[in-house]
Amino acid sequence: MSEPFTIGTRGSDLALAQAVATEQALAAAFPDLAVARNVIRTTGDRRTDVALSEVAKSEGIFDKGVFTKELENALDDRSIDLAVHSLKDVPTVLEERFAIAAVLERAPVRDVLVTRSGQDLQSLPAGSIVGTSSVRRARQLQWLRPDLKIIDLRGNVPTRLRKLAEEGTYDAIMLAEAGLIRLGFLPHQAHGLVEPVTSEDPLLAGLFVERLLEDFFYPAAGQGAIGFEIRADDARARDLAEIIGHRDTWLRVMAEREFLRLLDAGCHTPVGVFSSIEHGQLHLKARVFPEQGGDPQTADISACTSDPLQAALILFQSLA
């Protein structure tokens, strides 16, 4: 009897939902494949005592590795064969012994504003307190609404929702639409400008969500995508991942990640970038905020190519 194919995942509700999606895809493609799951606690899960932007610095971990280092250790010691990630949490450049092999079909990429009041971003009163752990979200909020107060918010998705509902510290919080959909807090399709959170918990059912359009509030590279990291020399894991992977999502996220690499951008660089494929060609938009402050650079291109690396280079060269 062959050894089971073991996937590694973080233990948050969202990470486990992503692991289930991966297991379902593997079961559909390989009905006879034995699949095991290894739940691993990462530095980012453990260090909730400091702002996310400070975790890597305090732990001596490169880039966004606060959510990937322990999973990579498990790949190294062969206790897992494939790590399931929220792709936006994966460093832009991996060590040579690792590779992103494939991605599942992408969920919606937008950011959302969650409130108790049902107000949208434009109608939030001046001085409202908005919670987020993302430097990118914070800088865009400050640029679009300099009259808002942005403070740090840590925890998994349900924890953040409960902090908004219970504590009274925040008037609104920022989250990713994909996570709310995967956890059942939002339907896949939008129903109106501002929608109630879907929950059997009456506390959370009193919250409201505004989905922010990508070309108004730029998402993170790879947002909404579930990525598979493997040992670079593991041909079996690569073949399995590629068979369940989604080609158009792969092209889009590779272009977005290559743009970050060209920028030499890490987790402290506030960058929004998103892509689409139209008639087989990549279309990319980006908004890049200087780390020292100031207005962003922007770029908007139709690359006239299906090559993600070439599309990213064209976008990078067109920044203004």
At 212 the three-state DSSP class reads strand
Q: Give the per-residue pLDDT at 1.
A: 46
Q: Give the per-residue pLDDT at 67.
A: 77
Nearest to 222 by CA among 132, 52, 106, 134: 106
Q: Give the per-residue pLDDT at 304.
A: 84
Instruction: Quickly list DSSP for 13-41.
Output: HHHHHHHHHHHHHHHHH-TT--EEEEE--
- Rounded to whole angstroms, how far apart are CA atoms 67 and 45? 7
| Domains identified in the chain and CATH numbers | 1-104+224-245 (3.40.190.10), 111-212 (3.40.190.10), 246-320 (3.30.160.40)
Tally: H helices and E strands in the chain: 10, 14
Q: Give the per-residue pLDDT at 200.
A: 92
- Rounded to whole angstroms, how far apart are CA atoms 171 and 247? 40
Q: Is residue 89 annotated as part of the catalytic site, yes or no?
A: yes
Q: Give the per-residue pLDDT at 264.
A: 86
Nearest to 221 by CA among 149, 285, 314: 285
State which residues of the chain have pLDDT below 70.
Answer: 1, 44-64, 265-268, 320
Q: Give the per-residue pLDDT at 58.
A: 45
Q: Are 9 and 84 in contact (CB under 8 A)?
A: yes
Fill in the amino acid letter for 113. Answer: L
Catalytic residue among 89, 111, 171, 234: 89
Nearest to 227 by CA among 212, 242, 215, 217: 242
- Rounded to whole angstroms, how far apart are CA atoms 217 and 219? 6
∠ CA 163-135-230 to the nearest 5 degrees?
95
Q: Give the per-residue pLDDT at 265.
A: 63
User: Structure tokens of 125?
Assistant: 């009163």
Q: Give the per-residue pLDDT at 197.
A: 96
